[in-house]
């Protein structure tokens, strides 16, 4: 392709709201263009990158044996009412009525549509398993669309859905998908980790996320440097922290004037905060109502909100205001497990299960209890509520856990029968018995990957595309395209590279100077440039490596082979 | 691909509302699945066909030098308010509000989005021309979605938009696109005609349609069998019909009791209906109001509604009720050009321009005028209003025009400056003067082509795909897949064909009998089947040609080469 015949509007202007490098550079280098909150047009270079990533995803999915399909982007609201997600998805689900008043949604995901597709069309275990995938537009009406392609509202996703006669077969396909996903990210040249994950609103049991490592990632990952263990902090576990158990003591109420925090109480009582209970009050939002819910973790731990939300079975947790806390008859700063008002839901971290000598608030201003024995209390709800911290111990190998930041680029789920049961989709098993399908579902954020590649591969000058994702691998820069000899020499190199199957662009623009062209090369981030300029008289050109910005002088006769060798 | 590993749910059930063969067969053969009015899922075979057609369109567009982009499917309503189409598009434009109350539309076309993209990014004639295209989802909230993929609401369209410094350059690109489109339809194996067309709501001057010929086509084409002339009836012209002019006579009012039709009046007056004026009353719908408008054509002609609508500058024409006609002070059956009520809009067909001795209604019950002289009347609005009829004379070559039925599969327009002016998109010309861009726009109905191929290629048993569009070219039918020798022989042929680059599927299903597999072959419509069955003992197989249903016995050693030769 020739620069002069391609629409590549680079600019020096950074969008006001662009905080991430990928957002800034993709806009400035003419890949994308924002038209509304979280809605982007792809300009020619952006479309090429999107399609290259899409092609890798498609190839690997086809290799896995999955069948490609395409669901309507507009789907009937009735599907969502049947599954119960019309309300459960909340305002992210964009609903509208057509000219006849029928309800529809813009698909954010397609569990309902795929169940509708196979229902009554697959009726026997003999036709199982099957995995159906699509790479198609999605829409989520995010409350705060931001970070460019990273968290858009309209985006491109690969979503697939598998159907099985047994749980075992679902687990088999889950592993096939895990390998398929690893192949995708490896081919794209990304540094990534597979981590255990929370299943969130999709539901189901086992789930894994594929995280592209980047400092700007929105997700915190807990990684063991010694073994394979990795998990989203939302789902991370650790070896329980243990200390010598204290001697059991009598329960006693102690005046603790103005001691509202764990630190204050521990200091006042000269006690190890490890043996205290930290109370966290949250407003849990359910479909029909909201209420204040109480979580207890060890004084030295922090609450992990997603774990807490799952324990409470809520749609989401919000911070509870002091008014809401008081309305629930709780005493901020002095909240404890004893003498709680009735009807309040309480969840206790499971690492506290064996403790019998704890300090906690007395639910009374300026008082705490000591000697609290949880082992003697009935009907407590224990759950994993703890945010694993750096330095905690890996439960697999004993290594010291570390944090990394990651971008969620894929997520695979063992759904089970949640949707097949809700939508009454069944098959006859080998005994002639009607059974709901076991389902898996698997997503890759294709347009998000465009941004993720750049978050992981950029410098202060611009993008640095990997070989599989670059819109063109080589940019032949004709220093002064008004000089016939330079343009001709450039065209020869360009044609030779194209004939060798290397995606190449030639910067043949007559109205632009060399510096401008070099700036575009650095901003756009093609992996290599060949500069055809002053050295031409001596029979040589310069090859620039975008990643290192190193320049090498090469004879014009050797440059094509040199580049082919580099690209291999 | 193996049948046993692919989701191909064929069925004998025809959807109730499916009148067209393409609609019936695409559903029955498991290509598509309806989820809502005018909204379809593509099952695996349907997705392959859609992508094959998409790939041909993309290749030809890339060859033409156009740049691929992708606009947001969801576009801001503000774009449409700027161009004036927010109201002009009527209820086909699906509008909705997001969670924050901002107005958006589901894109039915993208003139506004593309002008937004190039505005201020292309600023000089030096960066022109450019042609930007996308192949992406569209939505039109049709009043009556029907005919399966033929007139859906969600559909796939290739739309492109070119920008030029001059009208001459726009015309040059218009011809490039015409050739590109011809290449597309030719490669797809379609019998098509390029015809002159009405520009409709898109606006602009010159426009051409690409019509796939099929009896079920919704469009009537006027074709000359002697020359290249072809036009949609909405835009068709003919050599004006002439007869010896009558002698001028004095205007006279004649009592014509109960003579309401042209036939009755002509019979009563013993006059040639050629010399009479036929009045057609319509309700013209404008953005702000509706009003009764009057059209006159020759007594022997019929009004062409699209031409009439364009002449009146209306959004659409509706039939006027007798009440509405009387409310406009018109007399049904006796409506004429003389003594009309004031303020009524009148349009006269231009073939009547020279007539000076006509019969028409007197705008009075039971009276007509004779001797009406249009040449003496002032301020008449003349326009081409006539529906060309079969047997009319071609204005290019004198041939006798014929009707054909066609499916609109593409449309190209010379838009001019309509959108660039409305959205204030300008560039500096070679004199440094600011000018609005000259624009062209070009559409191909990609998903509609899936149906059009079948409308043109089917029989009573099912689909007959062309080679470029078939999901697989060869179906290797293993007659009884429980017999190892048959399955092995089938697999060998299947592998050999695949290695030779022939898209092949093997029907290896163990639970299905031969007759069922043959039925699926005929219904789905792969171009060829190889039947591996009883003849295997004699070292031969049967090749079935789907189009002719002819069977040929071939030695198993020769069958691969035989097929490769056929497919070439």
DSSP string covering A455-503, please?
A: HHSEETTEE---TTT-S-SEEEEES-TTSHHHHHHHHHHHHHHHHTT--
Which residue of A43, A50, A72 is in closest CB contact with B39? Answer: A72
Sorted by where each starts, the structural domains of chain A and their CATH numbers stand as: 48-73+108-237+403-455 (3.30.930.10), 252-383 (3.90.960.10), 474-567 (3.40.50.800)
Residue of A nearest to B46 (CA): A69
- CB contact B35 to A (< 8 Å): yes
CB pairs under 8 A between A and B: 149
Question: B47 and chain A: CB distance < 8 Å anywhere?
Answer: yes
Would you state the pLDDT for residue B315?
85
A44 touches chain B (CB under 8 A): yes
- Using an 8 Å Cβ cutoff, are B83 and B116 in contact? no
- For B376-421, the pLDDT digits (tens) are 998 899 999 999 999 999 999 999 999 999 999 999 999 999 999 9
Give the model confidence (pLDDT) of A409-428 as tens digits. 999 999 999 999 999 999 99
Give yes or no for a contact between A145 and A151, defined as CB atoms under 8 angstroms apart: yes
Given pLDDT bands bounded at 50, 70 and 90, which one contains residue A439? Answer: very high
| Sign of torsion over alpha carbons B7, B11, B13, B18 | positive
Distance from CA of A41 to the nearest CA of B (A): 4
Residue B88 CA, chain-centre distance (Å), reads 21
- According to DSSP, residue A252 is labeled E
Confidence category of residue B199, pLDDT binned at 50, 70, 90: low
Is residue A203 over pLDDT 70?
Answer: no
Q: How far is B3 from chain A (nearest CA, A)?
A: 10
pLDDT at residue A199 is higher than 70:
no
Within 10 angstroms of residue A401's Cβ, the number of other Cβ atoms is 25
Identify the pLDDT of residue B74: 97
Query: Is the separation of the CB atoms in B136 and B71 below 8 Å?
Result: yes
Choose among B404, B427, B430: nearest CA to B231.
B404
Percent of chain B scoring above 70 in pLDDT = 99
Residues of B in contact with A6 (CB under 8 A): 67
Q: What is the CA radius of gyration of chain B?
A: 29
Whole-model pTM: value is: 0.91
For chain A, the average pLDDT equals: 94
One DSSP character per residue, A157-214 reads EEEEEEEESSHHHHHHHHHHHHHHHHHHHHHTT--EEEEE---GGG--S-EEEEEEE-
Q: What per-residue confidence (pLDDT) applies to A226?
A: 93
End-to-end CA distance of chain A: 21
Mean pLDDT of A113-136: 97
How many angstroms separate the Cα of A480 from the Cα of each of A556, B126, B185, B202, B465? 17, 17, 42, 43, 52
Give the gap in angstroms from C-alpha A433 to the nearest C-alpha of chain B. 19
Q: Is the peptide bond before B129 cis (omega within 30 degrees of 0)?
A: yes
Residue B524 reports pLDDT greater than 60: yes
State how far the Cα of A421 lies from the Cα of B232, in Å rounded to an integer.
52
- Which residues, including other chains, have CB under 8 Å from residue A522's CB and lie 6 or more apart? A461, A462, A546, A549
Max alpha carbon distance in chain B (Å)? Answer: 96
pLDDT confidence of residue B200: 62
Any bridge partners for residue A280, and if so which?
Answer: A295
Greatest Cα pair distance in chain A: 96
Tens of pLDDT along B51-71? 999 999 999 999 999 999 999
Choose the weakest-confidence range: A347-351, B241-245, B548-552. Answer: B241-245
At B287 the pLDDT is 81
Average pLDDT over residues A483-510: 97
User: Which of A94, A104, A126, A131 to substitute to test the interface with B, most B CBs within 10 Å?
Assistant: A104
Per-residue pLDDT of B202-246, as tens digits, reads 555 679 999 999 998 989 999 999 998 999 999 999 999 999 888
Mean pLDDT of B260-278: 93
Could B72 and A37 be called an inter-chain contact, meaning their C-beta atoms sit closer than 8 Å? no
What pLDDT, on the 0 to 100 scale, is given for residue B566? 94
Q: What average pLDDT does the structure give for chain B?
A: 94
Other residues' Cβ atoms within 10 Å of the Cβ of residue A501: 10
Residue A278 CB partners (closer than 8 Å, separation 6+): A262, A296, A297, A298, A299, A301, A303
Q: Check residue B323 and report its DSSP letter.
A: H
CA distances from B369 to A39, B272, B275, B302, B379 (A): 64, 14, 12, 21, 20
Q: What is the ipTM of this complex?
A: 0.91
Handedness of CA B348, B351, B357, B358 (dihedral sign): negative
> Is B427 part of the contact surface with chain A (CB cutoff 8 Å)?
no
For A72, the closest of B41, B69, B122 (CB atoms) is B41
For residue A163, pLDDT over 60 is answered with: yes
Short-list B239, B283, B548, CA closest to B399: B239
What are the φ/ψ torsions at residue A275 (nearest 5 degrees)? -95, 35
Whether the per-residue pLDDT at B201 is higher than 80: the answer is: no
The nearest CA of chain B is from the CA of A116 a distance in Å of 8
**pLDDT at residue number B205:** 62
- Mutation to test the A interface, candidates B29, B35, B112, B130, most A Cβ within 10 Å: B35
Considering only residues 81 to 120 of chain A, which have any Cβ-Cβ distance to chain B shorter than 8 Å? 91, 94, 96, 98-100, 102, 104, 106, 113, 116-118
Q: What pLDDT, on the 0 to 100 scale, is given for residue A568?
A: 86
B396 touches chain A (CB under 8 A): no
pLDDT digits (tens, 9 = 90+) for B475-491: 999 999 999 999 999 99
- Residues A112, A82 contacting (CB under 8 angstroms): yes
Q: Can you tell me the distance from the alpha carbon of A513 to that of B434, in angstroms, rounded to the nearest whole number?
A: 25
User: Which residues, listed in sequence order, are joined to residue B403 by a DSSP beta bridge?
Assistant: B222
pLDDT at B159: 98
Distance of CA A34 to the CA centre of its chain: 22
The confidence score (pLDDT) of residue A132 equals 98
Tell me which residue in A51, A94, A98 faces B98 most closely, judged by beta carbons.
Answer: A94
Helix/strand/coil (H, E, C) string of A375-428?
Answer: HHCCCCCEECCECCCCCCECCCCCCECEEEEEEEEEEEEEEECHHHHHCCCEEE
Task: State the pLDDT at residue A168.
Answer: 96
Q: Do B284 and B314 form a contact (C-beta atoms < 8 A)?
A: yes
- Closest to A450 (Cα-Cα) out of A53, A138, A71: A53
Among B332, B444, B345, B349, smallest CA distance to B388 is for B349
- Whether B507 and B515 have beta carbons less than 8 Å apart is answered as no
Q: What is the pLDDT of residue B204?
A: 57
Stretch B285-311: mean pLDDT? 93
pLDDT tens-place string over residues A34-43: 999 999 999 9
Record: contact B72-A41, CB cut-off 8 A: yes
Select the more confidently predicted residue: A88 or A180.
A180
Cis before A129 (ω within 30): yes
Q: Is B505 on the interface with A (CB under 8 A)?
A: no
- CA dihedral sign, ordered A88, A91, A92, A94: positive
Proportion of chain B above pLDDT 90, given as a percent: 89
Could you give phi then psi for residue A319, rounded to 5 degrees?
Answer: -65, 135
Residue A276 has pLDDT above 70, yes or no: yes
pLDDT: which is higher, A389 or A200? A389
B327 phi and psi, to 5 degrees?
-65, -25
Contact A402, A226 (CB under 8 A): no
């Amino acid at each position: 392709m020739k620069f002069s015949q391609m629409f590549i509007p680079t600019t020096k202007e950074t969008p006001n709201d662009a905080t991430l490098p990928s957002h800034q550079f993709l806009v400035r280098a003419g890949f994308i263009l924002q038209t509304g909150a979280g809605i982007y047009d792809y300009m020619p270079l952006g479309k090429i990158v999107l399609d290259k990533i899409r092609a890798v995803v498609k190839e690997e999915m086809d290799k896995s044996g999955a069948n490609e399909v395409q669901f309507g982007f507009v789907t009937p609201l009735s599907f969502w009412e049947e599954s119960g997600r019309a309300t459960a998805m909340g305002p992210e689900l964009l609903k509208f009525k057509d000219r006849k008043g029928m309800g529809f949604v813009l698909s954010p995901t397609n569990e309902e549509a795929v169940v509708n597709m196979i229902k009554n069309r697959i009726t026997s275990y003999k036709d199982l398993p099957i995995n159906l995938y699509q790479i198609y537009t999605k829409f989520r009406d995010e409350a705060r669309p931001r970070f460019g392609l990273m968290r858009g509202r309209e985006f491109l996703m690969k979503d697939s859905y598998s159907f099985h006669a047994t749980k075992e077969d679902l687990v088999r396909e889950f592993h096939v998908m895990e390998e398929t996903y690893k192949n995708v990210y490896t081919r794209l040249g990304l540094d990534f980790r597979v981590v255990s994950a929370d299943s969130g609103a999709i539901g189901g049991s086992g789930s894994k996320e594929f995280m592209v490592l980047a400092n700007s990632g929105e997700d915190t990952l807990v990684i063991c440097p010694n073994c394979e263990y990795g998990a989203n902090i939302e789902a991370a576990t650790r070896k329980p922290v243990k200390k010598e158990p204290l001697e059991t003591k009598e329960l006693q109420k102690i005046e603790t004037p103005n001691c509202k925090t764990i630190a204050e109480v521990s200091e006042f009582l000269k006690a190890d905060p490890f043996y205290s209970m930290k109370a966290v009050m949250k407003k849990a939002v359910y479909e029909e109502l909201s209420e204040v819910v109480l979580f207890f973790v060890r004084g030295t731990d922090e609450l992990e909100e997603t774990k807490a939300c799952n324990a409470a079975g809520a749609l989401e947790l919000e911070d509870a205001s002091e008014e809401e806390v008081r309305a629930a008859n709780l005493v901020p700063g002095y909240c404890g497990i004893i003498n709680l008002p009735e009807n309040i839901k309480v969840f206790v971290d499971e690492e506290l299960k064996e403790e019998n000598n704890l300090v906690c608030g007395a639910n009374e201003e300026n008082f705490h209890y000591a000697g609290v024995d949880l082992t003697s209390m009935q009907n407590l709800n224990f759950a994993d509520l703890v945010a694993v911290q750096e330095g905690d111990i890996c439960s697999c190998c004993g290594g010291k856990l570390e944090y990394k930041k990651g971008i969620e680029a894929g997520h695979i789920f063992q759904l089970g029968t949640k949707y097949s049961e809700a939508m009454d989709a069944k098959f006859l098993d080998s005994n002639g018995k009607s059974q709901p399908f076991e389902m898996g579902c698997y997503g890759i954020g294709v347009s998000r990957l465009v941004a993720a590649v750049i978050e992981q591969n950029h410098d202060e000058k611009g993008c640095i595309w990997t070989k599989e994702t670059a819109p063109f691998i080589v940019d032949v820069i004709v220093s002064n395209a008004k000089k016939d000899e330079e343009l001709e020499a450039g065209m020869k190199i360009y044609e030779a590279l194209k004939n060798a199957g290397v995606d190449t662009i030639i910067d043949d623009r007559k109205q632009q100077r060399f510096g401008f062209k070099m700036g575009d090369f650095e901003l756009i981030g093609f992996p290599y440039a060949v500069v055809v300029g002053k050295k031409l008289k001596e029979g040589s050109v310069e090859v620039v490596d975008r990643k290192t910005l190193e320049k090498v002088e090469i004879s014009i006769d050797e440059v094509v082979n040199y580049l082919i060798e580099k690209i291999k």
